[in-house]
């Protein structure tokens, strides 16, 4: 199901692009999902999930006629597409392709991959060329695939895509310490990829259609150390979602601890939190309230349009 990292961090960036006059393509990578064994590689379920994503983005405020939806299935019927895939593959070593693979959520050192995995980055690059995009957007975890696209473009004499990378929203359980160098050579990128909000950990994720009670209960259980604003998922929700969406953050606080206060710059909130002027519980309650407000249109969309979500939930249960 769609979590707020995808719905609100990616979603609000897509809105920015549309406002700035871009033609925006939301690419539903059904073939890539098949390669990556999503839904056990069941294409019917994969496509149903893509349809559900369209509903989520519409509910979030990206109108159907404001973007173009393209499926990977729409490209693969064209031999010219596969010509690009082969050209990209011929221009890059196996090692280089493997390094572009952590996008699939796999370790850098994995040796037991299905051979089809090698197709994934080559297709990702060919998608960019085949659709003629000027700007490729993604989370920072896809940086290596995009750098491969830029290098391949130079070799093949094609237009180099400009890349815009967004931060990754951290899961509610906070930074996950694990073996270093799993996803990236750079320790801070490695930590962030390993800690990002993931659908497979439901208590660590807030879904776009969660109701206010569910949101509060998840946020109440979130990792939120006092006085520590960095690598703190509750503070990250303010920085990456609430501030951009609402332009302000209203902190509710009992009178004896200073009463309610509004922040218009994240840096001011960060300073106050570091100084211990804000109790984690007050922060959490105010974050829950703001998120519930932002997600209200999504809830009411699916209330009057329950089928796509219900179908998705059925698939989740039988998985």
Partner 1 sequence: MDLEERLSLIRRNAEEVVTEGELRALLETNERPRAYWGFECSG
158 near partner 1 (CB under 8 A): no
Nearer to partner 1, 47 or 293 (CB): 47
**1 in contact with partner 1 (CB under 8 A):** yes
* 20 counts as binding partner 1 under rule CB under 8 A: yes
Q: Which of 162, 201, 246, 281 binds partner 1 (CB under 8 A)?
A: 162
Stretch that binds partner 1, among 88-96, 169-177, 282-290, 308-316 (CB under 8 A): 308-316
CA distances from 222 to 10, 233, 284 (A): 22, 7, 8
CB-CB neighbours of 253 under 10 Å: 18
163 binds partner 1 (CB under 8 A): yes
Exactly one of 88, 237, 298, 315 binds partner 1 (CB under 8 A); that residue is: 315
Closest CA to 298 of 52, 129, 74: 52
Told to check if 237 binds partner 1 by CB under 8 A, we report no
Q: Is 16 in the site for partner 1 (CB under 8 A)?
A: yes
Q: What is the DSSP string of 63-98?
A: -GGGSEEEEHHHHTT-HHHHHHHHHHHHTS-HHHHH
Which region, judged by CB under 8 A, interacts with partner 1, from 159-167, 214-222, 271-279, 283-291?
159-167
Helix-helix angle 43-60:11-19, to 10 degrees:
60
Q: Are 173 and 164 in contact (CB under 8 A)?
A: no
Q: Is 26 in the site for partner 1 (CB under 8 A)?
A: yes
Q: 50, 102, 204, 280: which one contacts partner 1 (CB under 8 A)?
A: 50
Instruction: Tell which phi-psi region holds residue 227, choosing left (phi > 0), alpha (psi between -120 and 50) or beta.
Output: left
Q: Are 317 and 74 in contact (CB under 8 A)?
A: no
CB 116: neighbour CB atoms within 10 A?
12
Q: CB of 35: closest distance to partner 1 in angstroms?
A: 9
Residue 164 is given by DSSP the state E
**Closer CB to partner 1, 92 or 163, in the complex:** 163
Q: Quick one: 92 or 149, whose CB is closer to partner 1?
A: 149
Rounded least distance, CB 228 to partner 1, Å: 21
CB 282 within 8 A of CB 251: yes
Among 4, 8, 24, 191, binds partner 1 (CB under 8 A): 24
Q: Does residue 319 interact with partner 1 by CB under 8 A?
A: yes
What is the nearest approach in angstroms of partner 1 to the Cβ of residue 253?
26
Question: Binder to partner 1 among 8, 33, 81, 223 (CB under 8 A)?
Answer: 33
Task: Say if residues 139 and 166 touch (Cβ distance below 8 Å).
Answer: yes
Among 59, 89, 122, 128, binds partner 1 (CB under 8 A): 128
The mark string for 131-150 relative to partner 1 (x by CB under 8 A, - otherwise) is xxxxxxxx-x--x--xx--x
Site membership for partner 1, residue 232 (CB under 8 A): no
Whichever of 22 and 82 has its CB closer to partner 1, that residue is 22
How many CA atoms are closer than 13 Å to the CA of 134, on its beta-carbon side?
5
Per the document, the length of the chain is 319
The CB-side HSE value for 316 (13 A sphere, CA atoms) comes to: 13
Residues 6+ apart with CB under 8 A from 317: none
Q: Is 263 in the site for partner 1 (CB under 8 A)?
A: no
CB of 131 to partner 1, least distance (A): 6
């Amino acid at each position: 199901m769609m979590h707020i990292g995808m719905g609100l961090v990616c979603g609000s960036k897509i809105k920015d692009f549309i406002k700035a006059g871009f033609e925006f393509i939301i690419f539903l990578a059904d073939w890539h999902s098949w390669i990556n064994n999503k839904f056990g590689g069941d294409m019917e379920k994969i496509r149903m999930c893509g349809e559900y994503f369209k509903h989520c983005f519409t509910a979030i405020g990206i109108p159907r006629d404001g973007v173009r939806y393209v499926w990977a299935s729409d490209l693969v019927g064209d031999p010219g597409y596969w010509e690009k895939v082969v050209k990209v593959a011929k221009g890059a070593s196996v090692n280089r392709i493997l390094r572009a693979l952590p996008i699939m959520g796999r370790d850098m050192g994995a040796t037991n991959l299905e051979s089809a995995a090698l197709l994934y980055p080559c297709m990702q690059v060919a998608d960019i060329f085949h659709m003629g995009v000027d700007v490729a957007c993604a989370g920072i975890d896809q940086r290596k695939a995009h750098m491969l696209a830029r290098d391949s473009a130079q070799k093949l004499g094609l237009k180099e895509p400009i890349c815009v990378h967004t931060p990754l929203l951290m899961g509610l359980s906070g930074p996950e310490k694990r073996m270093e160098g799993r996803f990236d050579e750079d320790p801070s990128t490695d930590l962030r990829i390993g800690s990002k909000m993931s659908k497979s950990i439901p208590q660590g994720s807030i879904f776009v259609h969660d109701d206010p009670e569910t949101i509060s209960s998840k946020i109440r259980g979130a990792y939120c150390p006092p006085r520590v604003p960095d690598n703190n998922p509750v503070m990250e929700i303010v920085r990456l979602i609430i501030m951009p969406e609402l332009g302000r953050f209203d902190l509710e606080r009992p009178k004896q601890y200073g009463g309610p206060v509004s922040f218009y710059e994240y840096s001011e909130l960060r300073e106050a939190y570091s100084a211990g002027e804000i109790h984690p519980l007050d922060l959490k309650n105010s974050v829950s309230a703001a998120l519930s407000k932002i997600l209200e249109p999504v809830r009411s969309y699916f209330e009057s349009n329950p089928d796509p979500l219900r179908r998705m939930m059925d698939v989740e249960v039988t998985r």
